[in-house]
Amino acid sequence: MGRLTEISAVLLCGGQSERMGFPKEMLRVDGAPLAVHMVRRLEGLFEKVFVSTNHPAYLRHLLGVSVLEDEVPGAGPLAGILTGLRRCGTRQVFFLACDMPTVHNDAVQTLLDRALGSDAPAVCARCGGAPQPLCGVYAASIAPAVEQAVQQGADRSVQSLLGSVGAQWVELPAFGDVDAPEDLAVLGEVFREVEPLPVRRAPVRRLGGAPLEQDTVAEEWPVTVLANGVRLATVLCTPTALRELAAGFAAYLGLLNGRSGLRSVAVDYEARRVRLELEADEARIRSAVQQLVSSACGAALHGTLPPPVDIRGEHADVRVSRSHLLECVRGLREMAPVFARTGCTHQAAFSDGQRVRIFYEDVGRHNAMDKVIGRALMDGVDLSSGVLVSTGRLGSEVVVKALRQGVPVLAAPSAVTAAAVHLAVRHGLTLVGFARASRVNVYAGAQRVRDA
């Protein structure tokens, strides 16, 4: 059976995830957030796919489908159902919670077949007698009843709504959902690789203010990066997107220039280690390691490593508006789920001049930038015609990371160092600091920034 056109699909995201301490749709599996995989799956079944969430900034840069912001924030799943029924434009809408990745396609097809031949206001799954209202097909005609339930606020239970409108229930094989850290094993039934949860709950004693007994804190791991068996460094980082981190770090050392130079990358989460296999020979790798020195926040280079790319004569036609730079910088914190829960990460992103294409966060500002660059190298994204933005201060190390990829514009809401300005002027990089409120400070390459 081909993709359905009579019924559209909505992936429900954006729950509070209090027990998880982290938004479930952003759990990383097989190299991407769970929501990305769930959307791809739904796209194989439905012609029209949407995502409904009360945190649209987390997802918009990741998905090629429409992200619908809940019309009534804080009203739980009913808000997502109401939004989907109003905006999808089909007579019936299939809803699936993002934390139900083990629902088999055959089970979905059973629900769809039953719904297509029924006039019921809703046709939903039931497993072992237990209702699963967030896996079901809803008729758009019940939107007024959903709105009334949302506005009343006393009982916003989806199951109560379905009882009042007279839903049909279809018995299906049992499937698990992901509601707490101990449920992560459920993801292992569907995906090859499940990355560690990047936060944990920690006891705390608050003195002054409202009482607090537990808080959500960011995970920080020491992760060893090896290239062709040679240890490059041990990096303190957030334990997600470690492939991207390692590839970006190798690019910083001048060992990787493009996807073709990367033979393979493997992560051992138990050993906290990433192994790169590169085209570079062992002598070159060892020479790069010898040029590493410790810095206040990362690993710095000195000596005879290849110089940064000189872009003075290149990308003369690249232009970016002041408003776009400010928009990118403002969006960094909004897009960061770990920061939202902990306040403990830096963020970095790449924009092609129109929208953000790649985004990562990490407890280290250098790591966040390496993850962005690593992802671009692995996906073959050309960084030489866009903008890198970061929440951290712009020192010489970050400038070198940008220059090695031929990036023409580097911006941040923070300060720049004298060494960063020197490198930017010398090699033709547009360097922007203090991108805040309505202003930007352009320290080098001002010809690329339009005051629009």
Q: Point out the domain boundary residue: 301, 336, 351.
A: 301
The three-class DSSP label of residue 452 is coil
Tally the domains of the chain.
Answer: 3
Q: Given this model, what pLDDT does residue 157 score? A: 86
Q: How many CB atoms lie within 10 A of CB 157?
A: 14
Give pLDDT tens digits for 152-178: 766 678 998 999 999 999 999 988 889
pLDDT at 15: 79
CATH number for the domain harbouring residue 231: 3.10.20.10
Alpha-carbon distance 377 to 354, whole Å? 20
As beta bridge partners, residue 200 has: 217
Q: How far apart (Å, rounded) are the C-alpha atoms in residues 133 and 161?
A: 10
Asked if 251 and 328 sit in the same domain, the reply is no
Q: Is 274 found in the same domain as 379? A: no
Residue with tokens 């940064």: 308
Q: Which of 13, 297, 328, 344 is catalytic?
A: 297
> Domain boundary at 189, 209, 236, which?
189
Last residue within a domain, chosen from 255, 274, 301 = 301
Do residue 184 and residue 276 come from a single domain?
no
Task: Specify burial of residue 394 (Cβ count, 10 A radius: 0-12, 13-18, 19+).
Answer: buried
Q: Is there a catalytic annotation at residue 98?
A: no
Q: Give residue 177's domain range.
A: 7-189
Is the residue at 313 inside a domain? Answer: no
Write down the pLDDT at residue 274. Answer: 98
Assigned domain for 215 exists: no
CATH of the domain at 351: 3.40.140.10
Is 50 exceeded by the pLDDT of residue 304? no
Q: What is the mean pLDDT of the chain?
A: 92
Amino acid making up residue 255: L
Question: Is residue 52 within 8 Å of residue 83, measured between CB atoms?
Answer: yes
Q: What letter represents residue 379's amino acid?
A: D
Average pLDDT over residues 123-149: 94
Q: Residue 269 CA to chain centroid, in angstroms?
A: 19
Residue 202 located in a structural domain:
no
Residues 30 and 125 occupy one common structural domain: yes
Task: Evaluate whether 51 touches 38 at the Cβ level (below 8 Å).
Answer: no
CB-based burial of residue 64 (10 Å sphere; 0-12 exposed, 13-18 middle, 19+ buried)?
A: exposed
Which range is least confidently modeled, 70-74, 145-149, 189-193? 70-74
Beta strands (DSSP E) in 177-220 are 199-203, 214-218
pLDDT tens track for 60-94: 999 989 999 988 887 889 999 999 999 999 999 99
Residue from 437, 412, 433, 413 nearest 421 by CA: 433
The structure tokens listed for 236 are: 């303190």
Q: What is the CATH number of the domain that holds 24?
A: 3.90.550.10
Would 72 be classed as within a structural domain?
Answer: yes
Cβ burial 73-90 (10 Å sphere, 16+ → b, else e): eebbbbbbbbbbbebbeb
Same domain, 39 and 179: yes
Identify the sign of the CA torsion 142, 147, 153, 154: negative
Write the pLDDT tens digit of every residue in 232-272.
999 999 999 999 999 999 999 999 987 889 999 999 999 99
Same domain, 164 and 55: yes
